[in-house]
Amino acid sequence: MIGLRAELDVWRISALVTLDRTATTPFTLAETQHWTALGGASLLAGKWYRLRALGGVSVLSTASTTSIAPTLGLNGRLLWHFIGFEAAGTLTPFGAFQTLDGRIELILRGGVFELHAGYRVRLLAETGTLATATPIAGPHAALGLSF
């Protein structure tokens, strides 16, 4: 799975857009694209911490179908100078598909650059419920810019 994530915070207003692309093998022609666009507000915000609640939509595209469903999210971050932690989760509880995506990360900062390393769990039920979905889970890493 390859993913992209963009986040924007202006004062207490937040926006988050993600894209995940999955394929059954590196050489497969069939793939799934999962877009999520969320907006919200920081419930708590300070120099070293942030807790934000988000809401929006998710779009799941395959070679033959495209589905849209409502999505909720929660994100918390705690920083101290050059090191920090972040935990985040999104849930698509009903609609044409269901998802549950959670991650926990260690953050190392140097100037405007951030290195994120952590663990991510993703459940995707294109049919049925999340209880029957097979999780995709494992370590992940990301690079970021923070202004």
Q: What is the mean pLDDT of residues 22-43?
A: 78
The full 3-state SS of the chain, as one line of letters, equals CEEEEEEEEECCEEEEEEEEEEECCCCCCCEEEEEEEEEEEEEEECCCEEEEEEEEEEEEECCCCEEEEEEEEEEEEEEECCEEEEEEEEEECCCCCEEEEEEEEEEEEECCEEEEEEEEEEEEECCCCHHHCCCEEEEEEEEEECC
Position 81 pLDDT exceeds 60: yes
pLDDT at 28: 57
pLDDT at 24: 58
pLDDT at 65: 87
Sign of CA dihedral 75, 10, 82, 78: negative
Position 39 pLDDT exceeds 90: yes
pLDDT at 10: 86
pTM of the model: 0.86
pLDDT of 42-77, one tens digit each?
Answer: 999 888 999 999 999 999 988 888 999 999 999 999
Rounded CA gap, 22 and 27, in Å?
12
pLDDT of 98-142, one tens digit each?
Answer: 999 999 999 999 988 999 999 999 998 888 788 888 888 999 998
pLDDT at 127: 80
